Amino acid sequence: MHELGITQSIVEIAERTAKEQQAMKILSVTIEVGSLAGVVPEALEFCFEACSKGTLLEGAQLLIERVPARGRCLDCGREFPLEELLACCPDCNSAAGEILAGEELRVKEMEID
Amino acid sequence: MCIDCGCGPTDQHHHDHDRPKSKTINIEEDLLAKNNRLANRNRALFQQQGLLVLNLVSSPGSGKTTILETTLKDLQNEFGFAVLEGDQQTSNDADRIAATGVPAHQINTGAGCHLDAHMVGHGVEHFDLQQTDILMIENVGNLVCPAAFDLGEDAKVAVLSITEGEDKPLKYPQMFRASRLMLINKLDLLPYLRFDLEKCRDYARRVNPEIEIIELSCYNGEGLDQWYDWLRKQLGKKKP
């Protein structure tokens, strides 16, 4: 359940930014979660309600953008969607690949009032 | 003149003034940034002291603490060790390590499922790092969460005991991908189990082609020399 700590970071980052902007209220915060980031989006939503209580984020919407994973084959160069960490290249079946996207775990933006 | 945006009566309105005056702030900040910053601070401290730091990760019950006890008994005259123990509750593991005579400190994470860089930074304040060559961090038994948290270590060492089944690297690929070494433990039980050693090695290499693998048993001593040589080699890289 490391989503709890991750959610606390969301609240920290959003509150710090809101204070810098002298915002009175945060309406929504958008985060990007890659499909290989090892984080369960539903668990983040669950933790968010508890973590945002009594902060500028109370009542704000948590918008989660899921980033699908993409990989590139190191043998033939083909780029392809990664369903899982272990996928082989659909063209040449090579297991040697690099991850291009899908490990994201960041606060993208927020809407303030 | 419009008080919202300053546009005049002849300007064309491309926006709606009835909306609440919200604005969108771009942030683009990594959620693990704080942990990573503290991990880098730990790493700088360890580097300055010439320490080799290993982060031991595994499921609960894989034998991490027994591997540590055995290693400390065999090598504590050769190297200065210190051990940080991470568990949700109890100081059982730190007590076992302290019984070997090596400085040990227990970190209880409570509800937490992993150690983070902040806990480790404070944990090492309990040790005299000048007397230490190798710092072992035994993470909370969990093959999921600790993979995401850098502690400032030189390498993660994943321990997999053969009672767990050979497909653990496939089921928990992030952890085995993040580890430099896999120790396959409890090798003495091999005659009693249906554990396919070759498949296990193959699965681990599919997840992480670079991973090094050592099979060992703390009961019959098999493979321990290889593990100790690996430690010497890693320490050699830190102290040329």
Mean pLDDT of B191-209: 95
The ipTM (two decimal places) reads 0.83
- Alpha helix stretches (DSSP H) within chain A: 3-20, 41-52
What pLDDT was estimated at residue A2? 84
For residue A84, pLDDT over 80 is answered with no
Residue B10 or residue B3, greater confidence: B10
CATH of domain A3-69+102-112: 3.30.2320.50
- Chain B residues with CB-CB distance to A under 8 A? 20-34, 111-114, 116, 144-145, 147-149, 170, 173-174, 177, 206-207, 209
Q: Does A61 touch chain B (CB under 8 A)?
A: no
Other C-beta atoms closer than 10 Å to the C-beta of A32 total: 20
Distance CA B152, CA B117 (A): 7
User: pLDDT-based confidence at B239, cuts 50/70/90?
Assistant: confident
Chain A contact set for B88 (CB, 8 A): none
User: pLDDT-based confidence at A113, cuts 50/70/90?
Assistant: confident
User: pLDDT-based confidence at A12, cuts 50/70/90?
Assistant: very high
User: pLDDT-based confidence at B8, cuts 50/70/90?
Assistant: low
What pLDDT was estimated at residue A83? 80
Residue B44 or residue B12, greater confidence: B44
Please give the interface size between A and B, counted as residue pairs whose CB atoms are below 8 Å apart. Answer: 86
The 3-class secondary structure across B34-61, one letter per residue, is HHHHHHHHHHHHHHHHCCEEEEEEECCC
What pLDDT was estimated at residue B113? 87
Q: Cα distance from A22 to chain B (closest Cα, Å)?
A: 12
Chain A contact set for B29 (CB, 8 A): 13, 106-107
For residue A20, pLDDT over 60 is answered with yes
What pLDDT was estimated at residue B134? 98
Q: Does A38 touch chain B (CB under 8 A)?
A: yes
Q: Does A70 touch chain B (CB under 8 A)?
A: no
Among B28, B114, B207, the residue with its CB nearest the CB of A2 is: B114
pTM, two decimals, is 0.85
CATH of domain B50-238: 3.40.50.300
Chain B contact set for A57 (CB, 8 A): none
Q: Map out the domains of chain A as residue ranges.
A: 3-69+102-112
For residue B16, pLDDT over 70 is answered with no
Chain A contact set for B170 (CB, 8 A): 86
pLDDT tens per residue across span B73-83: 999 999 999 99
What pLDDT was estimated at residue A96? 80
What pLDDT was estimated at residue B125? 97
Mean pLDDT of A9-38: 93
- Degrees, nearest 5: CA angle A58-A53-B146: 110
User: pLDDT-based confidence at B3, cuts 50/70/90?
Assistant: low
What pLDDT was estimated at residue B112? 83
Cβ–Cβ gap B22/A112 under 8 Å: yes
* Average pLDDT score, chain B: 92
Give me the sheet containing B181-185, strands edge to edge.
B104-108, B81-87, B134-138, B52-58, B155-161, B181-185, B212-215
For residue B15, pLDDT over 80 is answered with no
User: pLDDT-based confidence at A3, cuts 50/70/90?
Assistant: confident
Q: Does A24 touch chain B (CB under 8 A)?
A: no
Task: Check if the beta carbon of residue B138 is closer than 8 Å to that of residue B62.
Answer: no
Cα pseudo-dihedral B173, B174, B178, B182, rounded to 10: -30
Chain B contact set for A48 (CB, 8 A): none
A49's CB contacts (< 8 A; 6+ apart) are none
- A26: closest chain B residue by CA: B22
pLDDT tens per residue across span B91-150: 999 999 999 999 999 999 987 889 999 999 999 999 999 999 999 999 999 998 899 899
Chain A contact set for B20 (CB, 8 A): 27, 113
Mean pLDDT of A61-69: 95
Cβ–Cβ gap A27/B116 under 8 Å: no
